[in-house]
Chains A and B, each alone.
Chain A
Amino acid sequence: MSKLLISATVNGDAQQFLCDSGATLLDALRDELGLTGSKEGCGSGDCGACTVVLDGQMVCSCLVLAAEAEGRTVNTIEGVAEGSELHPVQRKFLEKGALQCGFCTPGFIVASKALLDHNPDPSESEVRYWLAGNLCRCTGYDKIVRAVLDAAAELRQERVPA
């Protein structure tokens, strides 16, 4: 079976990779591009550990074919920080102790950033419903929700012109 050559913009960089026609975007990110920050918890769209942003849209990369990324823009957990500057969501996760094992964390951070990009002032229940596709077995979600609400507040502060 011959492989497909795919060109896509990944975390701002032009990338090319080879993949089987049946390979998922998650497989390609992890195995071809070495971006193992996106995790496979289920492979069926039920845990959110593989969450990435594809052309501005939050998706489970285990449900997207790698070939579908052709010509598109993919943003993963590895691209959330600006250089060595953590995104406020990442910083708040650390400050609030919002991770234990950390395996779900990349998915939560990508999903939370996507929420705040689109709704800068979510209520607690908006946060909870937005993140309902991301499973965390360690934390009971309490500290995750607090971290996201705190990050939202901080981002709103930043946006206020001085």
Chain B
Amino acid sequence: MARVQPMSPFAEQFFGGAQLLDVAAGNLFALVDALDAIGPGFGENAGMRVAFAVDGTMQTDWSAPLPADADVMVFPRVAGG
């Protein structure tokens, strides 16, 4: 199970303010699907607005395998200039 910490505003918007979710997923694609089942609409947002950090490192390749007990942070993607 990955330990998923959704940050503001996603926690409020999709997960009823939950700070920690346990999700089984082999990679971030599967994780996004699983989170979308918990918070409908999350998946559609993930493509544009969400960034992930896996075990303390930014991960933009969603196909990379997710370690069994990964810590996943879900936070807003930011744009640069």
Given a CB threshold of 8 Å, the question of whether A touches B is answered with no
Query: Chain B residues in contact with chain A, CB under 8 A?
Result: none
Query: Chain A residues in contact with chain B, CB under 8 A?
Result: none
